[in-house]
Structure 1
Amino acid sequence: MITEKHGTIAAKIARKGDSIIERMVDDTGQDAVTHYFVRAVIAELNMSDVSLSLETGRTHQIRVHMQFLGHPLIGDTLYGGTTERIDRQALHSETLVFPHPMTDEQMTFSAPLPDDMKSLLFK
């Protein structure tokens, strides 16, 4: 569970060994910056509801940076999470914002929290 209210993770990400899938924090990797804000701490379940914002878009960036902090995503077995509470990564993109490729107009898309993740937070 993350208790520090907010912060920035600036840690380079590289492939892990010969793996085509797994990544790790490594000084030889590419720059990666993730900002986080803890929305809620659920101490009795040893978990936090965290909002993340990316400056870069590296493969598995959120998953690797959360593992680097010592707080892997629930359900993310590749990076140290457990599947006790959910059978998939507890990762949801609530809002995506990016410039339209032709008009440069800001595009914003939102999606509600899925039911299985709601049940994690609001038992």
Structure 2
Amino acid sequence: MTGDLQKEQGTITANIGRKEGSIIERAVVAAGQTAITHYKLLKEKNGMSLVEIQLETGRTHQIRVHFSAMGHPLVGDDLYGGSTARMKRQALHSAMLTFTHPMTHQLLHFTSELPNDMVQCMMEA
């Protein structure tokens, strides 16, 4: 994300709903659905922050909307105010996913390394 966070960790609790006049964009709106995002700062450099995020809810565009509303849009996310100068796509990556399979009830756990373009962007920062 862009900018330096004021707190190293925190929780964003802000309702999210459709942005007025748009069928795609979402916004923080009082009448929206509850949305809760936990974050922890991992690294800051040259106006960018690398954060670990844990979602308590799963609203459409939740991470993008919450951080944009805080004044820290994602690098490459021009829909929510981020610049595409460093990356031509949203700097958003799911490194880990864990859930219980709905049929087998088996706990499934998946991990994924950072894509090369994100690694490169972090090295340039």
More displaced stretch, 77-86 vs 103-112: 103-112
TM-score normalised to the size of structure 1?
A: 0.94
Of 4, 27, 30, the match for 1:27 = 30
Please give the residue correspondences for 1:1-12 in structure 2 after superposition, counting only pairs within 5 Å. 1-12=4-15
Tell whether 2:57 aligns with 1:56: yes
SS at match of 2:59: coil
How far, CA to CA, are the matches of 2:13 and 2:33 in structure 1?
11
1:95-106 → structure 2 map (5 Å cutoff): 95-106=96-107
**CA deviation profile, 1:78-108 (whole Å, cap 9, x unmatched):** 1000001010000001111111111222211
Can you list the C-alpha shifts for 1:102-122, whole angstroms capped at 9, x where unaligned? Answer: 122221111110010001112
Name the residue aligned to 2:108: 107
User: Out of 14, 18, 23, which is 1:15 matched to?
Assistant: 18
Structure 2 counterpart of 1:21, one-letter code = I
**Structure 1 residues 40-51: aligned runs within 5 Å:** 40-42=43-45, 45-51=46-52
Structure 2: segments with no counterpart, 5+ residues: none
Question: How does the TM-score come out when normalised to structure 2?
Answer: 0.93
Which deviates the most, 98-107 or 53-62?
98-107
- Superposed CA RMSD: 0.9
Q: Which amino acid aligns with 1:75?
A: G
* Distance in 1 of aligned mates of 2:110 and 2:6: 29
Q: Partners of 1:69 and 1:21 in 2: how far apart?
A: 20
Q: Which has the higher contact order (CA 8 A, sep 6+)?
A: 2
TM-aligned CA deviation for residue 19 of structure 1: 1.1
Question: Taking every aligned residue pair, what percent have the same amino acid on both sides?
Answer: 52
CA-to-partner distance for each residue in 1:39-72, whole Å, 9 max, x for gaps? 0111xx2011001000111000000001111100
